[in-house]
Amino acid sequence: MTQRRAAGAVEYSSIIIYDRLSARIENKRDGGMSYSKRILFGNDPADDSIRAQLQARTEALLKPFTFKIPTRRKNPAPGPHWDPRWRWAVHRAIGELAIETVNINDQVCAQSKAEANSIKARAETLYQEALQKDILSLAS
């Protein structure tokens, strides 16, 4: 086996490892993340103030939206576990009623209980219509 050595290289059992490359990897423990990912998901203390500002702004934005409407419902038919008709019905109801909402982790959040109830009621109507339409199309 021929042994080659580049400047600044160290050999360990026939594998050449470059010191400069390993030094770069050591300095970049974040895996080459972008700046925004480093702020959001990194643990560099230099970014703590920015992280705190983002958290405060996000909490202030989401605080009024406390009434939750789940966008998942068990599928009554064989197929995907979650029924896609329900998610569609909820978002369609929001569009028809023109109510301001935010999506948080598979939930739609409204600002008041009355808004949430009206969205749920309209979504249930749309859902039942879509379900009946699908049942009729399967029967024929």
3-state secondary structure the chain: CCCCCCCCEEEECCEEEEHHHHHHHHHCCCCCCCHHHHHHHCCCHHHHHHHHHHHHHHHHHHCCCCEEEECCCECCCCCCCECHHHHHHHHHHHHHHCCCCEECCCEEEECCHHHHHHHHHHHHHHHHHHHHHHHHHHHC
Per-residue pLDDT of the chain (140 residues; tens, 9 = 90+): 444 444 444 444 444 444 444 444 444 554 677 888 888 888 888 888 999 999 999 999 999 999 999 999 998 877 778 999 999 999 999 999 999 999 999 999 999 999 999 999 999 999 999 999 988 888 77
